[in-house]
Chain A
Amino acid sequence: MRLRFWRGWGWNRRGAELDEELASHLRMAEQERAERGASPDEAAAAARRELGNATLVREAARDQWGWRWLEDFARDLRFSARALRKSPGFALAIVATLALGIGANVSMLNVVRMLLFRTPPRVSQPQEIVRLEAMDRSGQSGPDTANYQGYLRLAEHMQLLNIAAQGYPFATDFGRGAGAREVERNYVSRNYFDVLGTKLLMGRSFSAEEETRTHGDSVAILGYDFWQQQLAGDRKILGREVEIGGRPHTIIGIAPRGFNGMDPDRIDVWLPLGDSGAFNSTGSWWLQVIGRPVHNATRQQAASEATSVFLHGGGDSKETIHATPYSATEAGPRLKQDSGDQVALWLSGVAFLVFLIACANVANLFFVRAIQRRQEMAVRLQLGATRWRLLRQFLTESLVLSAIGGAAALLLAYWARPLVQAFLLPPHFYMGDFLKAGTLLLTGSFAVLAGIASGLWPAWRASRPELALALKSGGRALHERSTIRSVLLVGQVALTLLLSIGAALFVRSLRSVHGIQLGFDADHVLVAIASTSGYKPADVSAAYQQMLRRARFVPGVKQAALVAYPPFYSYGLSSYWNAASGSSPARDIEAAVNSVSPGYFAAIGMKILQGRDFLPSDRSGAPLVAIVDQSFAKEAAGNSNPVGRCVSIKSGGDCIEIVGVVPDERRYFLFDDIPGASPPNTVYRPLGQTASDDYLSSFAAGGLVMRTTGKPSTIERIAGEALAGVALGGRYVEVHPMMEKIDEQTLPWRMGASMFTLFGTLALVLAAIGIYGLLAFLVRYRTAEIGLRLALGAMPGNILAMVVRRGMLLVGTGILIGTAAAIGLARLMKSLLYGVAPTDVASYAIAAAVVAAAGLLACWIPARRAMRVDPVSAMRCE
């Protein structure tokens, strides 16, 4: 028993004492009456009468002790526990429903919080960190960067700020030969981690000497994710040497999990400032200076101090230094137009709807239970319990269940984290610790909210004083009209329909997105990009040619070709072309330019519509040729055949003959609404002729595309190994299926489709259970009536129809309301969908059909049971 340890003092001892006291009072009263001559019985009776209602006396006295409410609460808890143990099915149903509803919400709200209100992980007090930037009098911001000398000067002389420096992240080579990789690196000062308040997981930061070492061996600190994923989390990593950016580095430390500095982009490797080529140059402004104010120095004070140091060092007197909060430059909660963030917000709304549905279901269950216990309630009311007492007990029960449901929800949300990470968050997003106070508080609030919301109304109804009176006239007369339950159910169905419509719309959007014509077949394309920075263009060309030859022999590769700007990997260049054509006036047409090797169009899956592909004979010295896309052809030649026409870079320049026409392609962005994304025309030139072009910058090959016979991912590794063997200087060659790049842009729709479907299904199941529950209850309640009807000659079919009709009426109303609501909300959703109107009739119809079908199924089972009622036994049980 819960109060066992209280027994030693407090309640029960006092209670026992009071009982004893009252007993002795009674005795003395009896005695006195007996002395005055009454018979023992009379005396006893009179005495007891005088005492009054002993229980009430006891309770009134105990009230005075002031701890009554706690004792009552404990008693309620015990009572609830007992009652729930007796109906485990009921308790389980409620806990499961709430767990799903609350868990979904906690997960979604966490996601929203992380996406919109992200603070840099593992940085202590990130809001204090400021960035120093120069501004001139007119408020225009000047460079927010400095060179090394400038940084040193600030670091030495500033008292009010702890100063550190960071560069701009960029890609570099890691490793050599087969294990070579592309990594993101950043240059940081040696006190960077200290200033940010980050404790390294292993190892140490750079020393002063290491910071200024510009040649020879250097040191590096690795990021946690990189260490885990690419180096298998090798515990003995410290002290290992690896080549980074062409220099040997010793690994001296590992950053803690999730740490990426102040920005969200993933950093794999932190390098000392001396590694940078700009270290010694005074003209290069490559460092951002950041700092944390000491004690209670204000930003203004720090800024003025920085300004004076800056001026002392010979800075431009027209400029002042400002200390702006680092995070402010990201404009606080970033409600970007980013689709990903918007979908996340929508999904939170959706999750909340599911929560409401869950609460409605739970409320229904409580209603049912309350009705089952109405006799008990009536008796208790008669015995003197107040309404408030009954209400309190109901609420305790619902709160207990909600608390358990909330705990289960936490578990669910915890298990769902990998799912959330995979589907909803940008890759490499660090989710942080799960058991933050915020999460617990959120779950707790939801649980309490659920408990009160779903328990209050049924409790209120069940504890009506009229119950006691009604009981006397025979239980049956007390017909719980279940109007509220029906209303709740209609609401549930409406919400479910909303979710189903959302799911249908998103799925169709996704299909539309997948159906976007790229102009080429990306499903069977592998792209290989080699690290070539620092090498002469001639060497780069030679290396790529070698890779091309090697690629053709990789099993599974049908075709391979080189291209200067692989689509979706590079944006490319554009320039103005002049289409001189006999009759029509010469026009300037803007077009993107790309250089490709022969066989490129076949490799990438573009059909040549007119003319021919490039040939090996189209090389330097041969007549200049080009292949254009359809839009360019239209602009240059109208409806006539463009093949054979001349185009040139400038008016009157060398004639470049059009030898072929290909379809328009999507070069970098999937969607038209991004300015500049609509594919302007494209002109392709052969690599052999552009390598040393005067007007176009030197077009070294930028990538190798391979057409695969099967799925590109299956031969990704083999291709990577084969190509790494001939890579320049043993540096990395990254090989990936092209669809991976494209998929990055479709994430919001995939996310929306999968989550809406998931939530929609959840809501559907909950609503179906709700309908089933209501109808089953009604059938059981009206068993006598059904029996009577059957006995009087009704066909079982009629009964079935009656029940189904009742249920489908609710479902139908819900569908109508849901449809109206969806149309109302349609406008809000417009920006999230693609290729389908928010009032798309087909989607609405499908959603309504699914919901109706589920509803029908839920009606069916109780209806069948009603049909099979045995009239005789039904009427007998009264």
Chain B
Amino acid sequence: MKERYKNRIELLQGTLDLLILQTLRWGARHGYGISQAIRADSRDVLQVDTGSLYPALHRLERQGRIAAEWKTSENNQRVRVYRLTKTGKKHLNAERSRWTQISEAIAGILEPGGKAAARG
């Protein structure tokens, strides 16, 4: 029996939001563009499938962290473009620092002598 549709990078769901917000930092993008940016910037490691992307985008929109509007693209096509809001920017900064803390903590566990080794 098919299970409930799962977000494939569910583990990193909070992270997905973070990635989206980050890609919007320097400008507005449409949905396809966001997924491409994430793939590119992660050097093909993270491939966000649309099943996760669009729900995340709508969630962020509902939370007020991104705003969307319809624009006409170069080819005269209608696209929905997302941009970061002030709330989103604040949230992004908070999440970034939290992420840094967590990753350092994990690194500390995985390589206990790491820092020392690095320094040393």
Does A24 sit at the interface, judged by CB under 8 A?
yes
* A/B interface sample: 9 pairs, CB < 8 A: A25-B32, A32-B36, A52-B50, A57-B50, A57-B51, A60-B54, A64-B59, A66-B62, A386-B4
Question: Would you call B78 and A52 a contact (CB within 8 A)?
Answer: no
Does B86 sit at the interface, judged by CB under 8 A?
no
Does A840 sit at the interface, judged by CB under 8 A?
no
| Separation of A52 and B52 alpha carbons in the complex (Å) | 10
Question: Would you call B5 and A60 a contact (CB within 8 A)?
Answer: yes
State the total of A-B contacts with C-beta under 8 angstroms. 65
Question: Would you call A65 and B50 a contact (CB within 8 A)?
Answer: no
| Separation of A465 and B1 alpha carbons in the complex (Å) | 8
Question: Would you call B51 and A28 a contact (CB within 8 A)?
Answer: no
| Separation of A50 and B35 alpha carbons in the complex (Å) | 11
| Separation of A869 and B53 alpha carbons in the complex (Å) | 61
Q: Which residue of A lies closest to B80 (CB)?
A: A21
Question: A573-609: contact bitstring with B at CB < 8 Å (1 yes, 0 no)?
Answer: 0000000000000000000000000000000000000
Question: B70-81: contact bitstring with A at CB < 8 Å (1 yes, 0 no)?
Answer: 100000011110
| Separation of A22 and B32 alpha carbons in the complex (Å) | 9
Residues on A with C-beta less than 8 A from B57 are 61
Question: Would you call A21 and B62 a contact (CB within 8 A)?
Answer: no
Residues on A with C-beta less than 8 A from B78 are 20, 24
Does A3 sit at the interface, judged by CB under 8 A?
no
Given contacts A50-B50, A65-B62, A384-B2, are A21 and B31 in contact (CB under 8 A)? yes
Question: Would you call A63 and B54 a contact (CB within 8 A)?
Answer: no
Question: Would you call B30 and A52 a contact (CB within 8 A)?
Answer: no
Given contacts A21-B80, A51-B50, A384-B2, are A61 and B55 in contact (CB under 8 A)? yes
Residues on A with C-beta less than 8 A from B2 are 384
Residues on B with C-beta less than 8 A from A60 are 5, 7, 51, 54-55
Question: Would you call A61 and B5 a contact (CB within 8 A)?
Answer: no
Question: Would you call B32 and A29 a contact (CB within 8 A)?
Answer: yes
Question: Would you call B54 and A53 a contact (CB within 8 A)?
Answer: no
Most chain A CB within 10 A, of B1, B50, B57, B58, is at B50
Given contacts A24-B77, A64-B58, A65-B62, are A50 and B51 in contact (CB under 8 A)? no
Q: Which residue of B lies closest to A28 (CB)?
A: B32
| Separation of A21 and B29 alpha carbons in the complex (Å) | 13
Residues on A with C-beta less than 8 A from B4 are 386
B 23-49 contacts with A by CB, 8 A: 30-32, 36, 49
| Separation of A661 and B80 alpha carbons in the complex (Å) | 111
Question: B2-13: contact bitstring with A at CB < 8 Å (1 yes, 0 no)?
Answer: 101101000000
Question: Would you call B30 and A24 a contact (CB within 8 A)?
Answer: yes
Question: A788-810: contact bitstring with B at CB < 8 Å (1 yes, 0 no)?
Answer: 00000000000000000000000
Residues on B with C-beta less than 8 A from A21 are 31, 54, 79-80
Most chain B CB within 10 A, of A20, A21, A24, A57, is at A21
| Separation of A65 and B57 alpha carbons in the complex (Å) | 11
Question: A29-B32, A57-B50 are known contacts; what are 11 more A-B pairs with Cβ within 8 Å?
Answer: A20-B80, A21-B80, A24-B77, A25-B32, A27-B77, A28-B30, A52-B50, A56-B5, A61-B54, A61-B57, A468-B1
Question: Would you call A50 and B49 a contact (CB within 8 A)?
Answer: yes
Does A18 sit at the interface, judged by CB under 8 A?
yes
Interface residues of A (CB under 8 A from B): 17-18, 20-22, 24-25, 27-29, 32, 50-53, 56-57, 59-66, 381, 384, 386, 465, 468
Residues on A with C-beta less than 8 A from B77 are 24, 27
Question: Would you call B50 and A25 a contact (CB within 8 A)?
Answer: yes
Q: Which residue of A lies closest to B6 (CB)?
A: A60
Find A64's partner among B5, B30, B55 (CB 8 Å cutoff): B55
- A351 CB to closest chain B CB, in angstroms? 44
- B14 CB to closest chain A CB, in angstroms? 15
Residues on A with C-beta less than 8 A from B55 are 57, 60-61, 63-64
| Separation of A592 and B37 alpha carbons in the complex (Å) | 111
Interface residues of B (CB under 8 A from A): 1-2, 4-5, 7, 30-32, 36, 49-51, 54-55, 57-59, 62, 70, 77-80
Residues on B with C-beta less than 8 A from A51 are 50
Find A52's partner among B51, B62, B80 (CB 8 Å cutoff): B51
Residues on A with C-beta less than 8 A from B32 are 24-25, 28-29
Q: Which residue of A lies closest to B1 (CB)?
A: A465
Residues on B with C-beta less than 8 A from A62 are 58
Q: Which residue of A lies closest to B35 (CB)?
A: A25
Residues on B with C-beta less than 8 A from A25 are 30-32, 50
Residues on A with C-beta less than 8 A from B58 are 18, 61-62, 64-65
Q: Which residue of A lies closest to B47 (CB)?
A: A50
Most chain B CB within 10 A, of A22, A61, A381, A384, is at A61
Residues on B with C-beta less than 8 A from A28 are 30, 32
Q: Which residue of A lies closest to B36 (CB)?
A: A32
Residues on A with C-beta less than 8 A from B62 are 64-66
| Separation of A465 and B58 alpha carbons in the complex (Å) | 32
Residues on B with C-beta less than 8 A from A52 are 49-51
Find A18's partner among B36, B49, B54, B79 (CB 8 Å cutoff): B54
Residues on A with C-beta less than 8 A from B51 are 52-53, 56-57, 60
Most chain A CB within 10 A, of B51, B57, B80, is at B51
Residues on B with C-beta less than 8 A from A386 are 4
| Separation of A60 and B2 alpha carbons in the complex (Å) | 15
- A388 CB to closest chain B CB, in angstroms? 10
Q: Which residue of B lies closest to A20 (CB)?
A: B78
Q: Which residue of A lies closest to B79 (CB)?
A: A24
| Separation of A64 and B32 alpha carbons in the complex (Å) | 19
Closest 9 pairs between A and B when the two form their complex, measured CB to CB:
A64-B58, A28-B32, A60-B55, A61-B54, A64-B59, A25-B32, A21-B80, A52-B51, A56-B5
| Separation of A25 and B35 alpha carbons in the complex (Å) | 10
| Separation of A63 and B54 alpha carbons in the complex (Å) | 11
| Separation of A51 and B49 alpha carbons in the complex (Å) | 7
| Separation of A51 and B62 alpha carbons in the complex (Å) | 23
- A347 CB to closest chain B CB, in angstroms? 50
Most chain A CB within 10 A, of B4, B5, B31, B62, is at B5
| Separation of A61 and B80 alpha carbons in the complex (Å) | 15
Residues on B with C-beta less than 8 A from A468 are 1
| Separation of A17 and B1 alpha carbons in the complex (Å) | 31
- B38 CB to closest chain A CB, in angstroms? 14
| Separation of A18 and B77 alpha carbons in the complex (Å) | 15
| Separation of A239 and B70 alpha carbons in the complex (Å) | 80
- B3 CB to closest chain A CB, in angstroms? 9
- B22 CB to closest chain A CB, in angstroms? 20
| Separation of A60 and B53 alpha carbons in the complex (Å) | 10
Q: Which residue of A lies closest to B62 (CB)?
A: A64
| Separation of A57 and B70 alpha carbons in the complex (Å) | 20
Residues on B with C-beta less than 8 A from A17 are 70, 80
| Separation of A59 and B2 alpha carbons in the complex (Å) | 15
Residues on A with C-beta less than 8 A from B50 are 22, 25, 50-52, 57
- A539 CB to closest chain B CB, in angstroms? 95
Residues on B with C-beta less than 8 A from A66 are 62
- B19 CB to closest chain A CB, in angstroms? 17
Residues on B with C-beta less than 8 A from A57 are 50-51, 54-55
| Separation of A62 and B55 alpha carbons in the complex (Å) | 7
Residues on B with C-beta less than 8 A from A64 are 55, 58-59, 62
Q: Which residue of B lies closest to A25 (CB)?
A: B32
Residues on B with C-beta less than 8 A from A29 are 32
- A382 CB to closest chain B CB, in angstroms? 9
Residues on B with C-beta less than 8 A from A50 are 49-50
Q: Which residue of B lies closest to A14 (CB)?
A: B58
| Separation of A543 and B78 alpha carbons in the complex (Å) | 108
Most chain B CB within 10 A, of A17, A24, A59, A62, is at A24
- A468 CB to closest chain B CB, in angstroms? 8
| Separation of A20 and B57 alpha carbons in the complex (Å) | 15
- A43 CB to closest chain B CB, in angstroms? 14
- A18 CB to closest chain B CB, in angstroms? 7
| Separation of A50 and B47 alpha carbons in the complex (Å) | 10
Residues on B with C-beta less than 8 A from A22 are 50, 54
Residues on B with C-beta less than 8 A from A32 are 36
Q: Which residue of B lies closest to A381 (CB)?
A: B1
